[in-house]
């Protein structure tokens, strides 16, 4: 019987295992070194904040694996020998495979800052990082400094606030999540960060982390020379693929494990996906790293087909993502970049409470919509995707916005306010469709 | 509307209001202390003074504890520290609370004589409302209503950013205060039957028993109306409303048991058991209870139409057993007493025959469902954790499937706590509500 061995029990590896099991009877083993059972990395913050226990973070009950004949090995793969098709584990055991999937995820970045290895300095990616964070914040922390203005940084800030630890948030760019969010949205998030009492410092880079006599962090110094006393430093300046264990293997790596559009590596019968995979693109373009929950899952669905004999290309489809900045939810569909690209124009609406906004980026000439960002309003994934595929224009989006609305019942509706903003900005007289009336909504 | 409005450059300092909240807690504790002291009988001489002192400090204390949250920071999902707090994570405090409430129910149902001194405190209020002295049920009703109303305020403050939660909570508060407390007592004052318009068979099982029929029919016009009201609610309104709105129209908007679960019980909703095993037990138990009460009802009617001759004492035994096991032990002692240990909806999930009926309709003939939004689920598990009915909502959401479960009471908390906007409670076309969306390959 073919033996499929998967390294890494994150969303990527587990999705492959589940889908292969649905399609085939082959022997499946997952080896992972972080936790015995698959858990949701996306919920790490909720464990620290006391919203959930580890039990609640496991998407499948423990009996699931045996029932589906997926063998779990709790160990670390230290060496991959693709000639003899053997893996060496840290415990000394060896496992041979017929097909191998590398889904080893990421680790957080350290950019060689002086003092980055001091006690009390850490990033957040794994369950062990979370345990360390518990330890590092168990003693009184008068201030924490977070370095790096991305998604994990703001999550870490929220986590610390629930322990009543004051937070200073250093962001190198001139706005929060500057590479991704346009100015208006970045500003909206900034207001909200400040509203939560977080000391946000834009255009500020970490210079050095200073130790006390016991080798614990006592302060950071920014590049402009300001010293900020603190007892905890969070490093949240991005993540990078976990590939070190492949150093002396024949599997080709760059920033991550290099794969083609079928998620195949340079070695036959060895595949990779998820955070650790670097997808090669045509000459001239930068290879893609897709470090998201969603992409890991979608890649897993595709790779399971390839492994079970139906070689299938991974196509990303229409882009989507979502996040939550403290109390404000965010969704994005299609392509919205930090700065408009050539030939693009934008429409922006913001509610006067500064907690809801909509940005639509469209083609300057045809007005066909290229992408949208939405904050504080939930939109329907299927409707947005359909409209983007059908190349609907800006006016169509705004007129029919109510159809895409996914907010809970009784919520305030924003559609006409959005249309009014459009009318003012573009000199039009658009009337947005409204919610179905009471009777229509009951019987329709 | 415009992005040019200047925003503040300063961070907001949040006031530390924990001192005020402690005063609130102290007041609540004082109220309970007085309550215990008055069990000795010292309050009997001064019932008005004591009832004002006891209930006043509990009610005011709750507000003083709850309202500062409005100033503590922006509204949002704030389930912070729930799993660290002894009271909400099955710690010592939770066991104390559980034993206290359970003990109260045991006295209430089987040894009301020990509650005598408390009951007497409420005489003034009872005379004012119903024209007669208080009974143990009046005492119970007063506690219950205070809990729903004041913990309802807490619920509204907690979910003040969510209109569905505000309206729904206001609705259970209204129905408990009006239909669960004031109206039945005022009816008594006018020598009418003490009738609860918001309870019907099979939850209020004896409303369709022959003796209720006789009791109401003999009470004149209003009584006849009441009997038919109950029958219409059971056989017509229940299926029709559930078809259009799902069982939520009752379970999380009207019902008093649901009302208590959604208010007093809210801090405990995360304790429900989400395992597959629990779901299997649930289905056997709840349908078993429904079968039990249906058989009991049929037997008592058969018995009464044959003049008690054929079945003899059997029907009495059936209805007494049901009353003891289900009506008292299950719905009260376990259902509420075990809130701090087993979560807030144990009765609703495992025992309530009304929920069983509503659930069957919801599952097979209803427009209600919780829609899953495309591929946006990150499997974080907030929805499952906070589902008081122990539904593993995530299991559906992460495979792009709508949630249609007999037990879902439509409280909407799963949708509220979801950090990615994945869930929406909706009524829509019956066809296709079970279809998977095609964002996640199952
Ligand atoms: C705090 C946080 C919040 C996030 N929130 C979101 C979000 O909201 N939305 C979103 O889309 N994404 C989010 N992400 C990113 C998302 O979690 C990741 O993209 C995703 O988990 C990657 O899955 P994966 O299966 O590829 O890898 P991982 O989940 O990293 O799994 C890899 C596993 O392999 C193990 N492993 C590595 N090397 C070895 C070895 N040699 N031997 C044995 N085992 C090994 C690792 O220990 C790990 O358990 C978040 C990430 C973090 C840290
Ligand atoms: S599934 Fe959602 S709406 Fe239904 S009972 Fe559970 S939390 Fe409430
Ligand atoms: S539906 Fe929402 S709350 Fe539930 S697991 Fe998915 S993302 Fe989390």
Q: Taking CB atoms and an 8 Å cutoff, what residues of chain B touch A378?
A: 373, 421, 424
Which atom number of ligand 3 is nearest to the Cα of residue A40? 5
Instruction: Please indicate whether, in this complex, the C-beta atoms of A322 and B421 are within 8 angstroms of each other.
Output: yes
Question: Which of these ranges, A388-397, B203-212, B403-412, has the smallest mean pLDDT?
Answer: B203-212
**Is residue A315 domain-resident?**
no
**Is residue A226 domain-resident?**
yes
Same domain, A247 and A219: no
Nearest-10 crossing angle of helices B276-305, B210-217: 60
Same domain, A52 and A85: yes
Closest CA to A154 of A293, A326, A32: A326
Among residues A237, A259, A293, the one where a domain terminates is A237
User: Which residues form the domain of A262?
Assistant: 3-106+240-307
**Is residue A113 domain-resident?**
no
Among residues A307, A338, A364, the one where a domain terminates is A307
Least CA distance to A382: which residue of chain B?
Answer: B374
Rounded to the nearest angstrom, the minimum Cα separation between B255 and chain A is 20
Which atom number of ligand 1 is nearest to the Cα of residue A294? 11
pLDDT for residue B9: 54
Residue-wise pLDDT tens digits, A326-376: 999 999 999 999 999 999 999 999 999 999 999 999 999 999 999 999 999
Residue-wise pLDDT tens digits, A117-132: 999 999 999 999 999 9
Q: Taking CB atoms and an 8 Å cutoff, what residues of chain B touch A349?
A: 1
Residue A225, CB half-sphere, CA atoms under 13 Å: how many? 0
Q: Whose CA is nearest to atom 9 of ligand 1?
A: A293
Fold of B367-427: Alpha-Beta Plaits (3.30.70)
**Domain of A25: which CATH number?**
3.50.50.60
Which atom number of ligand 2 is nearest to the Cα of residue B269? 7
If one counts every other C-beta atom within 10 angstroms of the C-beta of residue B167, the result is 13
Instruction: Please indicate whether, in this complex, the C-beta atoms of A197 and B425 are within 8 angstroms of each other.
Output: no
Q: Taking CB atoms and an 8 Å cutoff, what residues of chain A touch B394?
A: 59
Q: Taking CB atoms and an 8 Å cutoff, what residues of chain B touch A40?
A: 378-381
Residue-wise pLDDT tens digits, B257-311: 999 999 999 999 999 999 999 999 999 999 999 999 999 888 888 888 877 666 6
Q: Is B8 on the interface with A (CB under 8 A)?
A: yes
Q: Which residues contact B325 (CB under 8 A, 6 or more apart)?
A: none
| Residue of B116 and B303 predicted with greater confidence | B116
Residue B371, CB half-sphere, CA atoms under 13 Å: how many? 24
Same domain, A233 and A255: no
Same domain, A195 and A341: no
For residues B249 and A227, what is the distance between their CA atoms, to the nearest angstrom? 58
Instruction: Please indicate whether, in this complex, the C-beta atoms of A162 and B80 are within 8 angstroms of each other.
Output: yes
Percentage of residues in chain A with pLDDT exceeding 70?
100
Instruction: Please indicate whether, in this complex, the C-beta atoms of B421 and A327 are within 8 angstroms of each other.
Output: no
pLDDT for residue B23: 96
Cβ–Cβ < 8 Å for A361, A393: no
pLDDT for residue B3: 37
Q: Please report which helix (H) or strand (E) contains residue A221, including its range.
A: strand A217-222
pLDDT for residue B11: 65
A222 pLDDT higher than 90: yes
Q: Which residues contact A227 (CB under 8 A, 6 or more apart)?
A: A210, A219, A220, A221
Rounded to the nearest angstrom, the minimum Cα separation between A85 and chain B is 30
* The two three-digit tokens of residue A291, written as one number: 């470090």
**Is residue A49 domain-resident?**
yes
| Residue of A5 and B203 predicted with greater confidence | A5
Q: From the list B76, B167, B416, which residue is nearest A410 (CB)?
A: B167
Interface pTM, i.e. ipTM: 0.96
Q: How far are the Cα atoms of A442, B241, B251, B409, B435 from residue B429, in angstroms, in the given order? A: 10, 15, 22, 19, 12
What is the phi/psi pair of residue A138, to 5°?
Answer: -70, -35
pLDDT for residue A179: 86
Instruction: Please indicate whether, in this complex, the C-beta atoms of A381 and B439 are within 8 angstroms of each other.
Output: yes
Model confidence at B198, pLDDT cuts 50, 70, 90, reads very high
A206 pLDDT higher than 90: yes
Q: Taking CB atoms and an 8 Å cutoff, what residues of chain B touch A411?
A: 163-164
Handedness of CA A420, A424, A426, A430 (dihedral sign): positive
Q: Which residues contact A154 (CB under 8 A, 6 or more apart)?
A: A169, A176, A189, A193, A325, A326
Same domain, A289 and A340: no
Say if ligand 2 is within 6 A of residue B356 CB: no
Cα A292 to middle of ligand 1, angstroms? 8
B42 pLDDT higher than 90: no
What are the structural domain ranges in chain B?
14-74, 96-366, 367-427
Q: From the list B9, B77, B381, which residue is nearest A40 (CB)?
A: B381
B4 pLDDT higher than 60: no
Which atom number of ligand 1 is nearest to the Cα of residue B380? 8
Rounded to the nearest angstrom, the minimum Cα separation between B391 and chain A is 12
Rounded to the nearest angstrom, the minimum Cα separation between B14 and chain A is 7
What average pLDDT is seen over chain B? 91
**Is residue A210 domain-resident?**
yes
Which atom number of ligand 1 is nearest to the Cα of residue A11? 25
3-state secondary structure A137-155: CCCCCCCEEEECCCHHHHH
Q: Taking CB atoms and an 8 Å cutoff, what residues of chain A touch B14?
A: 197
Rounded to the nearest angstrom, the minimum Cα separation between A91 and chain B is 31
B2 pLDDT higher than 50: no
Q: From the list A40, A406, A442, which residue is nearest B424 (CB)?
A: A406
pLDDT for residue B361: 97
Q: Is B430 on the interface with A (CB under 8 A)?
A: no
Among residues A274, A307, A340, the one where a domain terminates is A307
pLDDT for residue B310: 60
Category of A298 on φ-ψ map: left (φ > 0), alpha (ψ -120 to 50) or beta:
alpha
How are beta strands A320-325 and A99-102 bridged, if at all? Answer: unpaired
Same domain, A137 and A221: yes
Same domain, A33 and A83: yes
Q: Taking CB atoms and an 8 Å cutoff, what residues of chain A touch B241?
A: none
Q: Whose CA is nearest to atom 1 of ligand 2?
A: B408
Nearest-10 crossing angle of helices B256-263, B163-177: 130
**Is residue A312 domain-resident?**
no
| pTM of the model as a whole | 0.96
pLDDT for residue A438: 74
* The two three-digit tokens of residue A413, written as one number: 């509706």
Q: Is B415 on the interface with A (CB under 8 A)?
A: yes
Cβ–Cβ < 8 Å for A349, A364: no
Closest CA to B179 of B208, B141, B153: B141
- The pick from B77, B79, B376, B383 for probing ligand 3's pocket by mutation, whose C-beta has the most ligand atoms within 8 angstroms, reads B383
Q: Whose CA is nearest to atom 8 of ligand 3?
A: B380
pLDDT for residue B1: 36
Q: Whose CA is nearest to atom 8 of ligand 2?
A: B411
Which residue has tokens 């390959």?
B441
Same domain, A413 and A338: yes
Q: From the list A200, A294, A348, which residue is nearest B11 (CB)?
A: A200
Q: Is B40 on the interface with A (CB under 8 A)?
A: no
For residues A259 and A262, what is the distance between their CA atoms, to the nearest angstrom? 7
Of the residues A65, A155, A157, A409, the best mutation for testing chain B's interface (the one with the most B CB atoms within 10 Å of its CB) is: A409
Model confidence at B315, pLDDT cuts 50, 70, 90, reads confident
For residues B131 and B119, what is the distance between their CA atoms, to the nearest angstrom? 15
How are beta strands A77-81 and A86-89 bridged, if at all? Answer: antiparallel
* The two three-digit tokens of residue B403, written as one number: 């949630």
| Residue of A424 and B437 predicted with greater confidence | A424
Same domain, A150 and A167: yes
Instruction: Please indicate whether, in this complex, the C-beta atoms of A52 and B83 are within 8 angstroms of each other.
Output: yes
pLDDT for residue B323: 82
A385 pLDDT higher than 50: yes
Same domain, A196 and A49: no
**Is residue A111 domain-resident?**
no
Same domain, A196 and A214: yes
Please name the residue ranges forming H helices in B67-191. Answer: 92-110, 116-121, 123-130, 136-158, 163-177, 183-189
Model confidence at B425, pLDDT cuts 50, 70, 90, reads very high
Instruction: Please indicate whether, in this complex, the C-beta atoms of B382 and A320 are within 8 angstroms of each other.
Output: no
Rounded to the nearest angstrom, the minimum Cα separation between B92 and chain A is 17
**Is residue A313 domain-resident?**
no
pLDDT for residue B381: 98
pLDDT for residue B204: 87
pLDDT for residue B5: 37
Residue-wise pLDDT tens digits, A68-87: 999 999 999 999 999 999 99
Closest CA to B365 of B211, B222, B239, B250: B239
What average pLDDT is seen over chain A? 96
Same domain, A286 and A343: no
The residue-averaged pLDDT of A287-314 equals 97
Structural domain count, chain A: 3
């Amino acid at each position: 019987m073919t033996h499929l061995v998967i390294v890494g029990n994150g969303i990527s590896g587990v999705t492959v295992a589940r889908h292969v099991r649905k399609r085939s009877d082959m022997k499946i083993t997952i080896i992972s070194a972080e936790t015995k059972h698959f858990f949701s990395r996306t919920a790490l913050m909720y464990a620290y904040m006391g919203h959930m226990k580890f039990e609640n973070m496991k998407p499948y009950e423990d009996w699931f694996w045996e029932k589906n004949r997926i063998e779990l090995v709790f160990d670390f793969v230290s060496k991959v020998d693709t000639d003899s098709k053997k893996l060496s584990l840290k415990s000394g055991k060896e496992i041979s495979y017929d097909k191998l999937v590398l889904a080893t995820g990421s680790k957080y970045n350290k950019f060689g800052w002086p003092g980055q290895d001091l006690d009390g300095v850490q990033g957040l990616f794994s369950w062990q990082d979370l345990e360390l964070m518990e330890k590092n914040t168990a003693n009184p922390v008068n201030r924490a400094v977070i370095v790096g203005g991305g998604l994990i940084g703001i999550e870490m800030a929220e986590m610390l606030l629930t322990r009543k630890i004051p937070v200073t948030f250093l962001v190198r760019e001139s706005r929060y999540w500057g590479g991704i969010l346009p100015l208006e949205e970045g500003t909206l998030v900034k207001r909200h960060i400040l509203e939560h009492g977080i000391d946000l410092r834009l255009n500020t880079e970490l210079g050095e982390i200073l130790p006390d006599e016991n080798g614990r962090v006592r302060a950071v110094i920014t590049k402009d020379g300001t010293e900020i006393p603190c007892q905890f430093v969070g490093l949240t300046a991005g993540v990078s693929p976990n590939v070190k264990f492949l150093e002396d293997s024949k599997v080709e790596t760059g920033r991550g494990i290099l794969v083609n559009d079928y998620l195949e590596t340079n070695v036959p019968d060895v595949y990779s996906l998820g955070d650790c995979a670097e997808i090669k693109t045509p000459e001239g373009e930068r290879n893609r790293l897709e470090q998201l929950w969603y992409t890991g899952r979608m890649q897993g669905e595709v790779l399971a087909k390839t492994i079970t004999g139906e070689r299938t290309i991974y196509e990303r489809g229409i882009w989507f993502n979502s996040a939550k900045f403290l109390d404000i939810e965010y969704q994005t569909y299609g392509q919205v970049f930090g700065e408009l690209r050539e030939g693009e124009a934008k429409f922006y609406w913001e509610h006067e409470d500064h907690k809801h906004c909509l940005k639509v980026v469209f083609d300057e000439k045809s007005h066909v919509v290229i992408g949208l960002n939405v904050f504080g309003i939930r939109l329907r994934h299927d409707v947005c995707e359909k409209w983007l595929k059908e190349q609907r224009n800006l006016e169509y989006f705004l007129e029919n916005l109510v159809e895409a609305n996914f907010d809970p019942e009784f919520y305030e509706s924003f559609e006409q306010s959005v249309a009014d903003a459009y009318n003012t900005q573009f000199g039009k007289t658009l009337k947005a469709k409204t919610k179905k009336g009471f009777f229509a909504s009951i019987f329709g | 509307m415009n992005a040019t409005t200047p925003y503040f450059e300063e961070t907001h300092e949040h006031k530390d209001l924990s001192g005020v909240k402690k005063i609130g807690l102290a007041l609540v504790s004082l109220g309970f202390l007085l309550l215990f002291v008055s069990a000795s009988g010292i309050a009997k001489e001064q019932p008005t003074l004591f009832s004002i002192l006891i209930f006043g400090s509990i009610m005011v204390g709750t507000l003083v504890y709850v309202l500062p949250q409005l100033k503590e920071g922006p509204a949002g999902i704030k389930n912070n520290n729930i799993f660290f707090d002894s009271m909400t994570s099955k710690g010592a405090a939770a066991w104390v609370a559980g034993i206290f409430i359970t003990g109260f129910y045991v006295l209430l149902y089987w040894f009301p004589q020990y509650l005598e001194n408390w009951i007497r405190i409420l005489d003034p209020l009872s005379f004012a409302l119903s024209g007669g002295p208080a009974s143990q049920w009046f005492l119970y009703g007063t506690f219950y209503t205070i809990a729903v109303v004041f913990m309802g305020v807490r619920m509204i403050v907690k979910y003040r950013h969510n209109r569905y939660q505000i309206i729904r909570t206001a609705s259970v508060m209204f129905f408990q205060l009006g239909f669960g407390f004031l109206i039945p007592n005022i009816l008594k004052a006018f020598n009418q039957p003490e009738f609860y318009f918001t309870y019907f068979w099979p939850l209020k099982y004896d409303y369709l028993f022959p003796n209720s029929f006789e009791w109401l029919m003999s009470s004149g016009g209003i009584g006849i109306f009441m009997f038919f009201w109950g029958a219409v609610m059971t056989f017509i309104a229940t299926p029709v409303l559930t078809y259009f709105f799902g069982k939520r129209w009752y379970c999380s908007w009207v019902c008093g048991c649901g009302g208590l679960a959604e208010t007093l019980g809210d801090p405990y909703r995360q304790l429900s058991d989400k395992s597959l095993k629990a779901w299997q037990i649930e289905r056997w138990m709840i349908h078993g209870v429904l079968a039990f009460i249906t058989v009991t009802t049929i037997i008592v009617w058969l018995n009464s139409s044959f003049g008690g001759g054929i079945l003899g004492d059997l029907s009495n035994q059936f209805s007494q057993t049901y009353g003891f096991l289900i009506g008292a032990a299950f719905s009260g002692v376990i259902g509420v007493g075990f809130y701090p240990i087993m979560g807030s909806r144990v009765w609703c999930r495992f025992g309530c025959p009304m929920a069983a009926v509503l659930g069957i309709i919801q599952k097979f003939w209803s427009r209600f469902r919780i829609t899953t939004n495309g591929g946006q689920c990150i499997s974080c598990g907030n929805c499952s954790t906070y589902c008081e009915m122990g539904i593993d909502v995530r299991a559906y959401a992460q495979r792009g499937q709508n949630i249609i479960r007999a037990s879902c009471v439509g409280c909407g908390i799963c949708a509220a706590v979801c950090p990615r906007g994945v869930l929406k409670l909706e009524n829509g076309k019956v066809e296709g509500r079970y279809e998977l969306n095609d964002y996640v390959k199952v």
